[in-house]
Amino acid sequence: MASSSSSSSAPSSGLGHSAPVGTVPKDAAEGCPGVEAADAGKSDACAGCPNQAICASGEARAVDPTPDLVAARLSEVKRIILVLSGKGGVGKSTVSSQLAFTLAASGASVGLLDVDITGPSIPRMLGLRGQTVHQSATGWSPVWLDEGLGVMSIGFMLPDEDDAVIWRGPRKNGLIRQFLTDVEWGALDYLIIDTPPGTSDEHISLAQYLKKAPVAGAVVVTTPQQVAMSDVRKELSFCRKTATPVLGVVENMSGFACPCCGTVTQIFAPAEGGGRGMAERAGVPFAGSIPLDPRLMAACESGEAFVEAHSATEAAQSLATVVRHISKAAGGEATLGDELEATLAEGAEALAKAVPHSHGASSAGPAQ
């Protein structure tokens, strides 16, 4: 398994400070926190140190070359889309994988990067279980589903897919850095990055590493329940603080689509207007709602492109609406290509004949 190398550390002092050896000046006082630390020049251990003033000013901090390295590696990528969620289990990876499938089916060249280091599900959702990553003289090669869709995940590097990845933050961040600087994506219309839930070290590192890369923005996934939306509001706050544009909020599991008759029924009333209401209050776009459909779950389990295979379903039509919105908001095409749009039009016609109405389902379209 690829892993990042970690710096050796100086012994901790009685104050509990520990800093990488390379960041501690040779004439530093005992317990020096290091020039890269947030309290450099300001901690009790810094009192009387001849380097205190320069450390406190920040002049001694080294410039991180990673953003430049990432920008160089991703120079042929037109736009990067982050898929975020404050809560686990809301369908973030479902949205990521089907977004990648649908954009690729529209004729775009797409990369899907899974940075959920401890819970990689993208290999299964793309039907790529058991694949491995190959390394060349110029970097890691993604696993290509076809010519238009490449995938990278730590899941391809595990000897056993059930192996636990028990890593602390620095090691996870090191692998994310390798993914961004070492993977040979080539020319892409979209690079979709599937992130872990919450606002963890991985998210902070991504924001730092990608600050010179062509990030179009973030897609934030929620479900209608208040317990999910309360965490998603924190994710929107993270986007504001890191100056990451929000391309749209996606409300997943907005109703239940019956696999027999196709009717969408609202099981739980959305709290405070659901995802649409939350997006309106936050002043960000609403990309649309996707109903809960057992066929979509089955497609994710088997690695199937749901929109193409099940176009005559409410979930596929809703998902296509979401993808159109995201693509347009990211600066891409507003349609999904002639062939896929024709398939969707036929599916919509068949759906209209089969399902005359829905019961309490929230609108699938974006806010006007």
295-352: per-residue pLDDT in tens? 999 999 999 999 999 999 999 999 999 999 999 999 999 999 999 999 999 999 999 8
Q: Which pLDDT value is given to residue 263?
A: 76
- Cα 93 to Cα 88, 99, 114, 282: the distances in Å are 10, 9, 9, 23
Instruction: Name the least confident of 9-13, 130-134, 167-171, 363-367.
Output: 9-13
Cα–Cα distance for residue pair 77/32, rounded to 1 Å = 42
Is 353 annotated to bind a ligand? Reply is no
Across the strands, what pairs with 77? 188
Q: Mean of the pLDDT values across residues 272-280?
A: 91
- Residues near 12 by beta carbon (within 8 Å), at least 6 away in sequence: 18
Q: Which pLDDT value is given to residue 355?
A: 67
Q: Which pLDDT value is given to residue 15?
A: 31
**pLDDT beyond 60 at 267:** yes
Contact of 254 with 291, CB cutoff 8 Å: yes
Q: Which pLDDT value is given to residue 362?
A: 45
**pLDDT beyond 80 at 243:** yes
Is 284 annotated to bind a ligand? Reply is no
Is 260 annotated to bind a ligand? Reply is no
Higher-pLDDT residue of 25, 155 = 155
The pLDDT tens digits of the residues spanning 41-66 come to: 888 888 888 888 888 887 666 678 99
Q: Which pLDDT value is given to residue 64?
A: 84
Q: Which domains are seen in the chain, by residue range?
A: 30-62 (no CATH), 66-354 (3.40.50.300)
Report the 3 state secondary structure along the chain. Answer: CCCCCCCCECCCCCCCCCCEHHHCCCCCCCCCCCCCCCCCCCCHHHCCCCCHHHHHHCCCCCCCCHHHHHHHHCCCECCEEEEECCCCCCCHHHHHHHHHHHHHHCCCCEEEEECCCCCCCHHHHCCCCCCCCEEECCEEECEEEECCEEEEEHHHCCCCCCCCCCCCHHHHHHHHHHHHHHECCCCECEEEEECCCCCCHHHHHHHHHCCCCCEEEEEEEECCCHHHHHHHHHHHHHHHHCCCCEEEEEEEEEEEECCCCCCEECCCCCHHHHHHHHHHHHCCCEEEEEEECHHHHHHHHHCCCHHHHCCCCHHHHHHHHHHHHHHHHCCCCCCCCHHHHHHHHHHHHHHHHHCCCCECCCCCCCCC
Is 261 annotated to bind a ligand? Reply is yes
Across the strands, what pairs with 220? 84, 249
Is 155 annotated to bind a ligand? Reply is no
pTM: 0.81
**pLDDT beyond 70 at 365:** no
Is 227 annotated to bind a ligand? Reply is no
Is 87 annotated to bind a ligand? Reply is yes
Is 111 annotated to bind a ligand? Reply is no
Is 277 annotated to bind a ligand? Reply is no
Nearest CA-CA partner of 175 in 192, 197, 198, 152? 152
Is 300 annotated to bind a ligand? Reply is no
User: Which amino acid is present at 240?
Assistant: R
Nearest CA-CA partner of 343 in 305, 322, 312, 299? 312
